[in-house]
Structure 1
Amino acid sequence: MTHARRTLAWLCHLLISASLFGLIATAQADEEDQDALRLLGTGASFPAPLYLRWFRDYYLAHPNVMVDYQSIGSAGGVKDLIGGRVDFAGSDLKLSDKEAAQVPGGVHQLPMAAGAIVVVYNLENVPALTLSREALVGIFSGTVANWNDPAIAATNPDAGLPDMPIVVVARADASGTSYKFTRHLSALSPEFAAAVGTNMKPDWPDALKDRAGLVRSPGNGGVAATVRAVPGSIGYVQYAWGLLPGIAMAALENRAGNVVAPGNAAFNAALTSIMTNPGVPNATDPTGEEAYPIVAVSWLMLRDAYEDPAKLPALKDLIDYAMGPGQAVAEQLGYVRFPEPVIEYVRQQLD
């Protein structure tokens, strides 16, 4: 099967998975239960695979509550919540005080999903790739422009790297994933911090644009699909979007100077480091010998009051399910299972 056909098949599968629950739920509501409660949310694509699984499983146990979540990006979800168009929103960044003050009915913000941002790539006959911090920054700055560049070859001496240009795939929308990724690169390089900085919608360097080395795609799913379709490309996505479709992911050098491949053990090591030593510097680039260097938490925002009095109790019960039985599927889908102190914190906020 060609790259294009495989990509089309995966996209179809992704779209079906993302929308099937909504279609089934809507049809059943129309035909069987006109009184079913519908909860609508939009926002970050970072937690979307996990949210969709949780919401489907919750519906199977509670067919009178239907949850529809559309992954349109963190910025879109925040706008919808402020505009009163949704019941809840997902965002990879907490609301600012100014944004929170604009949410009708007040707002509570709960950490809901933790995961890693991984670097996915498309290189034929290169199943394993290691990127030093120098190479990672160079690729996304545009100064490392070819796959056989010495900065990449130094950590991949036997990989048979091709002599072909690197195509960077970045997010087209305002994205929390972009924010966390550029925040990490800025921590590694003062030059990157000055040229691009930490941004939800980065203005990528001219060195990429001038050689047509930059492609933009919406959502984590769009970036993953584009990387899978374009030979010689590289991009950044939440781990699930690389794991589930089987896209190659690079091992990265961490703060301790060790090469760490994406995986649950490395993600848990990073989260443990962050919980032990909280603060932006450690969250941006965790310490720890085995810690994966780029991890992130995604937040769920719900209003404190709703016109329909049934919605808040239903949302609270849904979140309680996610913090309980729902945690069993987190690692299966490429997320970090929350430790008990975090679960207890969320439940305290609900109370």
Structure 2
Amino acid sequence: MNFARIAFATAALALSSVVANAADISGAGATFPYPIYAKWADAYKKETGIGLNYQSIGSGGGIKQIKAKTVTFGASDAPLTGKDLDESGLAQFPMVMGAIVPVVNLEGVKPGDLTLDGPTIAKIYLGQIKSWDDAAIAKLNPNAKLPKQAIVPVRRSDGSGTTYNFAYYLADVSPEWKSKVGVSTALQWPVGIGAKGNEGVANNVANTKGSIGYVEYAYAKQNKLTYTKMMNKAGKSVAPSMAAFQAAAANADWKSQPGYGVILANQPGDQSWPMTAATWILLYKKPQDTASTASALKFFAWSYAKGDKMAEELDYVPMPANVVNDIEKMWSAEIKDASGKPLYSPTN
């Protein structure tokens, strides 16, 4: 998929908001899972006739819209805390997992040619490493011919769960990043060009010589961007791959956090990709529009049941079957109409 097709898909989903009928499902938020949500939505509409109007506006926008009750569901790559979920009356659950990858635009450099590590990326985005031939990059790439070229960092300008996970990882490996910049969906960036959405970062990197950015892997792969390898927690240089993402997710204890809000950054293991991440759905436990919420739950159940192959084709990692089973039990127990009747059961 190229930029034109992503733009067309975005426009097509936006257009559906104009012509949406009462049965269509409305959602807004994270750009990280947009490619797979669009793919699932297309297949689901062909099978059921029910469409999805999903606005790929960033996690911050999705959280705002669900709290304002202007959409049936919100989508965020930054999980809400248990306190926030309780105060808002929201249920939260992970839909799929993916990975964030560094992407660069350097002449003669192909995908996987370069290796970077977290501390070096942190120094680039702190404005301390300014040229591609810097000693820190050269040490990681002793056989590479690095150009004496200015580094142009590209980062998100909108409230972003991708940024949250990126910053969470950098804070875990760089005390200086943790103290000076910290972790949030929106940061006070020391340097860089701002771009909206994974789409915007991908587009800027593709068109800016000497640039570096961070995007969800599906955007890097579909748009043939030059991703780098990374040094993981075990000190191994790993390439982004389904196996590396699965390795990072393998030992996640999803029940350890309210709303399954487990961050997968910097997991142990020789094969683990260090910037693996999940993405979550937010729904009201007692929604005003029960029919729309019930329709959304059916779509999510269908996606869990029939969407794994489509997810893997875009290099997302499906949720494990035991976690899906637990999530669907949570739906039945917690998401109800005014009379207390569950809006979803495994048989509906």
TM range, normalised to the smaller chain?
0.7 to 0.9
- Residue aligned with 2:147, SS: coil
Contact in 1 for aligned 2:253/2:262 (Cα 8 Å): no
Distance 2:29 2:228 in 1: 27
Contact 1:273 1:288 in 2 (8 A): no
Distance 1:325 1:89, change over 3 A: same
Select which of 9, 14, 33 maps to 1:17. Answer: 9
Q: Does 1:215 align with 2:193?
A: yes
The residue aligned with 2:309 is: 328
Aligned partner letter, 1:256: A
**Count of equivalent residues:** 327
- The residue number in structure 2 matching 1:108 is 91
- What is the alpha-carbon distance in structure 2 between the residues aligned to residue 22 and residue 61 of structure 1? 21
Q: Distance in 2 between matches of 1:276 and 1:19?
A: 35
Closer, same or farther: CA 175–25 of 1 in aligned 2, 3 Å: closer
Change (3 A) 1:98 1:80: farther
What's the TM-score, normalizing by structure 1? 0.87
- The correspondence of residues 171-186 of structure 1 with structure 2, limited to 5 A, is 171-186=156-171
Query: What is the distance in 2 between the residues matched to 1:281 and 1:24?
Result: 33
Residue 66 of structure 2 corresponds to: 81
1:44 and 2:30 are equivalent in the alignment: yes
Match of 2:155 in 1: 170
TM, length-normalised to structure 2? 0.87
Task: Calculate percent identity across the aligned residue pairs.
Answer: 35
Contact 1:25 1:66 in 2 (8 A): no
Distance 2:244 2:255 in 1: 17
Alignment of 1:1-351 (within 5 A): 10-21=2-13, 23=15, 36-63=22-49, 65-97=50-82, 99-100=84-85, 103=88, 106-127=89-110, 128-205=113-190, 208=191, 214-275=192-253, 283-351=264-332
Structure-2 residue corresponding to 1:3: none
RMSD of aligned alpha carbons: 2.3
Counterpart CA distance in 2 for 1:276 and 1:107 is: 18
Residues 75 and 21 of structure 1: is their aligned pair in 2 closer, same or farther, counting only changes over 3 Å?
closer
Q: How much does 1:98 deviate?
A: 5.5
Partners in 2 of 1:47 and 1:132 — Cα distance?
24
Q: Which runs of 4+ in 1 moved over 6 A?
A: 276-282
The match for 2:339 is none
Local SS of the residue matching 2:183:
coil
User: Which structure 2 residue ranges, 5 or more long, are not aligned?
Assistant: 333-348
CA distance in 2, matches of 1:69, 1:281: 24
Flag the 1:102–1:276 CA change in 2: closer, same or farther, 3 A: closer
Match of 1:6 in 2: none
